[in-house]
Structure formats: C-alpha cells, structure tokens
Chain A
C-alpha cells in the first residue's frame, strides 16, 4: 500500500474517532451542555461533516504546535468541540445561566462568567481537576453563533487561564476553532 494512502486512512480513522468521541460520549457534561443549549434556544449544533472539518482543523493546530508557533493547547490531551452557526440565540440569559450552573455544579467549578446584554454575548468558563491535568469547559454564546469547548489542559495552560480568564478562554476557543485562517 502506498504511503500516501496509509496517511489518508490514518487521517480518516482519526477524524472518525474524534467525531464518534464528540457525538456519542453519552451521559457526560459536555453532551449535556450541548443538549441543554439545543433545547433552551431551539438550535442545532453542526453535524458530522462539520465535526470532521473541525477534526482536521484541530490536527492542523496540532501540527502547528509541533512547529512551535502555537503553544496553549500543546499539552492538551483532548479537545471536544460543538459549534452552532448562523442560528438564533434569543432567550432569557439569566434563566440560561442559572440552568447551566445548576447542571454543572456537582462536577465543575465556575471560574468566570460574563454577560453582555448589549451584544447578546455570554461566556462561561468552568474548571475541574482531571488526574494530573485539568479540564476546562467553555461555553460562548453570541447573537447568531455558539461554541462549546471542553479541553484537557496542562497546569501551564490552566495558569494562563486563571491569570487572565477572559483572554485565556478566548485563546482556547480561537485555537480550537481556527478553520479558514489555516
């Protein structure tokens, strides 16, 4: 078998495993949050094809990290991503915030939560210990789009996030969702 074919097969396997991981990890907080957003705002997150694209993109970031240009997710164990694009996020954000906090309070510690009613933007960062690493769950909702990112990060990345929570969350989200800039 040619080397190029092997690489292609390996890529497909990685994409499939990533997508399956994102789509079928039933009963966990990431999926619960995605479902909660879907039910609360009556929206739908992107399907398999988009997730595959996201997987490629994530691998792209990984490659970039190896090259040494991006560092925040370098030590990350896994990234799970759900995106909502071009959809309508209208609803009482106070009720949403309360539901989100209630659903995560047993396992996660809220770090920072921001709401801008003027721009209809909400961001939530939750943290928990995960062995010798840490998990962060970031929910960002704007007027027409939303993102849920769960990432396992190293102590170094967590330190960055805690030093400047808003900037750190932005970095993690941007690195997990760079698609067209690559």
Chain B
C-alpha cells in the first residue's frame, strides 16, 4: 500500500480538502457556535457588546457567588454544569445595518441533527426571535438564541445543560441581555 506521501498531488489535495471540511463541520456541529464571523459588523454598528464567559469563568462564578445571597445562590445553581456563555450584540443607526448573509452564517450552524429549533417568534415591529437547542441523545448540550431586528442583531450561545426556563432566569445576568423569551408554562401535574 502506498503511503500518503506517495499519492499523486491531486489525491493529496483532495485529502487535505476533506480534512478541512470535516474539521469545519465538526466544529460547527457542536453546541458552541462560531460567532467571530460577525465581528466585522462592529465597524458598522453604533453599539457592540461582546460577552465571553468560558468554562474557566463559569467555574469562577460558581466559586465566588455567595450561597447566602438569594440572587447569587440562584445564579450559582443555574450556571452549574455550563461550559460557556457567549453573547454578541450589534445595534445599528439605520435599518438593515447587517446583511442577510450575516444571519445565514449563524443559521447555517444551527441545523439538524445537532440543533433543533424550539421557538420562532416573528413580529413585524420587534423582529424575529429564534431559539435552538443542541441535543446529544436525550441530553441538552447547548442553547442558541438568534434575535433579528431591523436595527439590532443579537446572538446568545450557552454551552452545557440549559433549557428555556434556565435561559429566562439567566436573562439580565452574566451579560445575557433581556431577550423577552418566555419560559414554557408548566403543566398542572408538573407543579
């Protein structure tokens, strides 16, 4: 059998291409979505907020939040097991300061089978909010919120076991904006 280096250049190129594609898709299929491709919007936006709370900071948060403080105790409980919270938000002075392709770059990563859209609220006035869950078997491994308004684009990506209810409780904390997402109402027998 010929070694890899003995293959013709075309085969090597093909192998390299396949490795690159596989690396990209593997990265995009996990619960962490790539948000860096939105960075160029900061140059056009009037306001940009970029929050990165990685696993190290989450562990810090779990360590520093005080159990005796009701508010902090709740956040501490909520962040347990999370591996990252990433937020990028852009506000523009004019409508459509971002391109449809910018939104598509995010949506392209939120595809089945890894991701499942669980909520899609469209409002002519307030834009569109889409919530996605990343699943591995029956386990939730991440959540993504894509909020698209004429003058605002926000993406929230939480990596780890998180659901809508957790998200709504985390809103307004740890740099997560108030997205106005409503938690699903519990059934009577669940209360």
- Tell me the A residues contacting B by CB distance below 8 Å: 93-94, 97, 109-118, 127, 129, 134, 155-156, 158-159, 162-166
Which residue from chain A places its CB closest to the CB of B55 in the assembled complex? A109
A113 to B90, CA, bound (A): 12
A156 to B66, CA, bound (A): 8
CB–CB B51/A165 < 8 A: yes
CB–CB B60/A165 < 8 A: no
Which residue from chain B places its CB closest to the CB of A117 in the assembled complex? B46
Say which one of B37-45, B102-110, B118-126 lies at the interface with A.
Answer: B37-45
Which residue from chain A places its CB closest to the CB of B56 in the assembled complex? A109
Interface flags, B92-124, vs A, CB<8A=1, else 0: 010000000000000000000000000000000
Q: Which of B48, B51, B63 contacts A111 (CB 8 A)?
A: B51
A interface majority secondary structure: mixed
Asked if B82 CB lies within 8 Å of chain A CBs, one says no
CB–CB A127/B47 < 8 A: no
Q: Which of A94, A158, A162, A166 contacts B43 (CB 8 A)?
A: A94
Which residue from chain A places its CB closest to the CB of B174 in the assembled complex? A162
Residues 150-191 (chain B) with a chain A CB within 8 angstroms:
173-175
- 8 closest A-B pairs by beta carbon, nearest first, are A155-B64, A115-B48, A118-B46, A113-B50, A159-B64, A112-B51, A116-B47, A158-B64
- Tell me the B residues contacting A by CB distance below 8 Å: 39-40, 42-43, 45-54, 56-57, 60-61, 63-66, 71-72, 75, 93, 173-175
CB distance from A110 to the nearest CB of B (A): 5
In the complex, chain B residues whose CB is within 8 Å of the CB of A110: 50, 52
CB–CB B64/A115 < 8 A: no
Of A110, A162, A165, most B-chain CB atoms within 10 Å: A162
CB–CB A114/B50 < 8 A: yes
CB–CB A117/B52 < 8 A: no
CB–CB B46/A112 < 8 A: no
In the complex, chain B residues whose CB is within 8 Å of the CB of A165: 51, 174-175
In the complex, chain B residues whose CB is within 8 Å of the CB of A134: 60, 64
